[in-house]
Chains A and B, each alone.
Chain A
Amino acid sequence: MEQQRKFLQTESLPDNSAHLSRKEIGLFRNSPKQNICVQLLQDGDHRSFSELFHLLACDRRRREADPAVGLQTPPLEEQLDKLETMKLHLSRAERAERTGLWSSAYEQLLLLGRFFSSPEDVWLSLYFYRRCSDGERGFRPAVEAQVCLAEFHLEEGEVEQARQQAELSLQQVEDGWLDSDGRSLKLRTLRVLWRIYSRLADAPLAAGDHREALKLLHEGYRIATQTEDKQIEGEAAFKLGLTYQSAGEHDAAKQLFSSCMQIYGSLQDSDGLTKVYKAMARSLQSEGNINETVRCLEKLVDISRSDGLQHNLAESFLRLGDVYYSRCEYQRAAENFLQACEVYCNVGDEAQRQKAQGKVGMARAHCLIRKHIVHLQTAATTSEHQNLNCESADRT
């Protein structure tokens, strides 16, 4: 009996003995899934075990339902690194929960959400983000998870859900919080929210519902000003201005465009400036303020020239030319069109050059016709004078 008891107790020999312990044999013989599960249970982390087991079952079901998924990647239960990571973080989270340290528990879940970044693991990432944000409110990792979810929904086009998540996050976020990359969480939330409002406004704009679009974009603009990101502020102002323009309220549009110009000017963003000037010119033109339009377009030409952006430059010349053409100042129009031609020639854009050439032709033609008419008129008057002189000469 004593011998038997001793024999039984040799099962617990330390690992440096000559015998392999049962555990080591198990590591060799059993599947990675079994080893990890058994390890979790042995350490007392049974909820982590249940969760992991459940996720592996989900993975199996997904692969069965969609054979295409099954062929691309090996099953989750064979990917040891992912299993190990999940085991590590889930057990840490469980231990934190047991002792009541909720924040660090959520932290671990957030880490897991960020870990699964490859496209085939998106469902896992979402699962952990949801788990993280589903719990008690008000913890930093939970709010970060919500923001990540909002970003994901936005990218998938699920704008309403993104909006819900983002607004909730905004209510809960606190000023000093940083996200896992060290950036301000509040500003990130605001940025996401601006993008959501911008996207939400697209549908009413397309349908022509300016009131709705303006409401949304105003909200977006208000948020954008809080993001401390000038680029976004400029974008927001520009979009709002464009909406006012299409609604016909050019004063408001012009105001926004000028604040846009300031922002883009300070950012030295010539692309931004170019588009703002173009939009401003359009506004001015619709108002009928041609002088201002011309001035605006000339400024645009300057900018484009200084930046060496040839296409922009050529386009600005074309616009100027169009404005002069509409005012019947054909000479000036032709000059501008010719300059556009040259630029296109330099760039080598044959198609556009030919178009510009066409416009030059039209402008010159109008010019010539004018001259011809004038010439005819003067010719008529001179010949009249000549006739009169002849007549008077004959009389005398």
Chain B
Amino acid sequence: MGGKPKVSSKIIPLASPKGPEKLCELCQRVARLQCTECRATFYCDEEHQQADWVGIHRRICQLLVPIRTQTFLSLQRAGQIVTQQKKAELIEICRSVAQQKLSEGKHQEALPAAQFCLRCSIDVHGPNTVQLVPAYLLLAEANIGLGNVSRVAELLSQAEWSVLKSPDCGHAVHHRLHRSLGRLHMATGNLEQALLHFANDIYFASEAFGLDSTITCRGYFLMADAFAKQGKTPIVRSLYSEVTQIWHCHLTNLLENRIQNAQNPNVLLDSSYDNQSDKAQQVEVDDMLRTMLEFEQKDPRKDPAQVARVAHCLAMMWFLAGDSRKAQGFGSTALQAGQLIPNPDLTEPIQSLLQLVQSLQTEAHPSSDESQNSASA
């Protein structure tokens, strides 16, 4: 969704001040149009202007003005420091915009933001430095979503080179790089290499965040995907049960915190499930859990315990996100599966969750409840 900029005007070359040729923001070809809001951004045609407006320019239009126009003050040392700071802020804005669009699945729209983020980072930190790696990875992710495999390979090799030059960049950076490389190789169908990279990803993520972290967990899931394509079902099953275990633990803790906080009204509710990034994570996790559920349900050797656990995870997640209907749905699936095996440790939490969901629903719709009561009486 982006408004059409009402403000583009053709560049009249003779009217602009003397200087290097203006290049299109997105494709770096000769520019013929100019954004009249900021007068500092140029485009080759309307299409690119529209794409940029929707992608990032709407957010940063006015912020670009002080950076791109040179004044006497800006050329001095103090002015330059200020400019650098502004650029750093811009990088952050671009990064978060790109991230958000990616998590919503809008890869094409994310491109301008990611590209600008990279360009700005190169400006601020210099080429081939390790601070560029997040920007490279972001752009690579956008391109993976679009299937531009060669561009992704290029970007990731740049990123890899930066990381190799500064080996002390930390485990988290390594983990993200390997994850992106793994996904690249999955896209090209090179499963062995993908597995190698995912293995490295999990190793570094474990070093950085721990064995039970949900970040490491995602690595296991991606790896399971590769094994699934190789047809090694027992390994896939084993990995999925590990992922389920970790998420089950994590979600149970969140649920307990929520319940405790609800009982203690003095504590401010953390609105962690309300920001955009968490909504994005929610989508990702929901996707992951659903894939695992389908896998279990299609498996001839059905393991009801596993089905129950995955469904329970989904129920908990949707309950925490506030969607009672889905929570109820998954909760009853979980209960059905759980009743096939006599394990109270598994079924009790599910039942208590269902009760909680139902109590919330009756709270939300007391009138319908009363009418039902009067109808039955």
Stretch at the interface among A33-41, A226-234, A336-344: A33-41
Q: Per-position contact with A for B232-260: 1 when CB-CB < 8 Å, else 0? A: 10110011001000000000000000000
* In contact, B199 and A41 (Cβ under 8 angstroms): yes
Q: Which residues of A contact B227 (CB under 8 A)?
A: 44
- A4 with B199: CB separation less than 8 A: no
Contact status B149-A22, CB under 8 Å: no
Please determine whether A42 and B149 come into contact, CB atoms closer than 8 angstroms.
Answer: no
Which A residues from 33 to 59 make CB contacts under 8 A with B? 34, 37-42, 44, 46-47, 49-50, 53-54
Instruction: Report if A62 contacts B (CB, 8 A).
Output: no
Could you tell me which residues of chain A, from 15 to 45, have a CB within 8 Å of some CB in chain B? 22-23, 26, 34, 37-42, 44
- Docked complex Cα distance between A46 and B239 (Å): 7
Supposing A44-B235, A98-B234 touch, asked if A37 and B242 sit within 8 A by C-beta, the answer is no
Q: Contact between A37 and B196 (Cβ–Cβ < 8 Å)?
A: no
Asked whether, in the complex, the Cβ of A42 is within 8 Å of the Cβ of B195, the reply is: yes
Q: Could you tell me the dominant secondary structure of chain B's interface residues? A: helix
Name the residue of chain B whose CB is nearest to the CB of A35: B203
Partner of B149, one of A5, A12, A41: A5
Residues of A within 8 A of B121 (CB): none
Interface size on B, residues (CB 8 A): 27
Is B203 within 8 A of A5, CB to CB?
A: no
Instruction: Identify which of B188, B195, B206 contacts A9 (C-beta below 8 A).
Output: B188
Q: In angstroms, how far is the closest chain A Cβ from the Cβ of B266?
A: 37
Which of A5, A22, A38 touches B193 (beta carbons < 8 Å)?
Answer: A22
| Closest residue on chain A to residue B148 by CB atoms | A1
B234 touches A22 (CB 8 A): no
Contact of B203 among A1, A4, A22, A37 (CB under 8 A): A37
- Closest residue to A54 on the B side, CB-wise? B211
Q: Are A38 and B199 in contact, with the CB atoms below 8 A? A: yes
Compute how far the CA of A100 lies from the CA of B343 in the bound complex, rounded to whole angstroms: 21
Q: How far is the CA of A39 from the CA of B190 in the complex (A)?
A: 17
B193 touches A4 (CB 8 A): no
Q: Find chain A residues with CB under 8 A from B220 CB.
A: 46
Q: How far is the CB of A165 from chain B (nearest CB, A)?
A: 27
* Chain A residues within an 8 Å CB radius of B136: none
> Is the beta-carbon distance between B235 and A23 smaller than 8 angstroms?
no
User: Is A99 located at the chain interface by the 8 A CB criterion?
Assistant: yes
A8 interfacial contact with B, CB 8 Å:
yes
| Chain A residues whose CB sits within 8 angstroms of the CB of B192 once the complex forms | 12
A212 close to B (CB within 8 Å): no
Residue of A nearest to B193 (CB): A11
Using CB atoms, name the residue of chain A closest to B196.
A42
Cβ contacts under 8 Å, A1 to chain B: 149-150
A336 smallest CB distance to B (angstroms):
77
Q: Once the chains bind, are A98 and B238 in contact (CB under 8 Å)?
A: yes
CB distance from B88 to the nearest CB of A (A): 33
User: With contacts A8-B149, A12-B190, A22-B193 known, is A47 near B238, CB below 8 A?
Assistant: yes
Task: Find out whether the CB atom of B150 lies under 8 angstroms from the CB atom of A5.
Answer: yes
With most chain B CB atoms within 10 A of its CB, the pick from A8, A22, A34, A98 is: A8
Taking A46-B239, A50-B242 as given, write out 19 further A-B residue pairs in contact, using a Cβ cutoff of 8 Å, ordered by the A residue number.
A1-B149, A5-B149, A5-B150, A8-B184, A9-B190, A12-B193, A23-B196, A34-B203, A37-B199, A37-B203, A38-B199, A42-B195, A44-B239, A46-B202, A47-B242, A49-B203, A98-B234, A98-B235, A99-B234
What are 19 residue pairs bridging A and B, where the CB atoms are less than 8 Å apart in the complex?
A: A4-B150, A5-B149, A7-B153, A8-B185, A8-B188, A12-B193, A23-B196, A26-B196, A37-B199, A41-B203, A44-B227, A44-B235, A46-B238, A47-B238, A47-B242, A49-B202, A49-B203, A54-B211, A99-B234
Chain A to chain B: the 8 pairs with minimum beta-carbon distance, closest first: A4-B150, A41-B199, A44-B235, A38-B199, A42-B199, A98-B234, A37-B203, A42-B195
Chain A contacts to B: CB under 8 angstroms:
1, 4-5, 7-9, 11-12, 22-23, 26, 34, 37-42, 44, 46-47, 49-50, 53-54, 98-99
Binding site for A on B (CB under 8 A): 149-150, 153, 184-185, 188, 190, 192-193, 195-196, 198-200, 202-203, 206, 211, 220, 223, 227, 232, 234-235, 238-239, 242
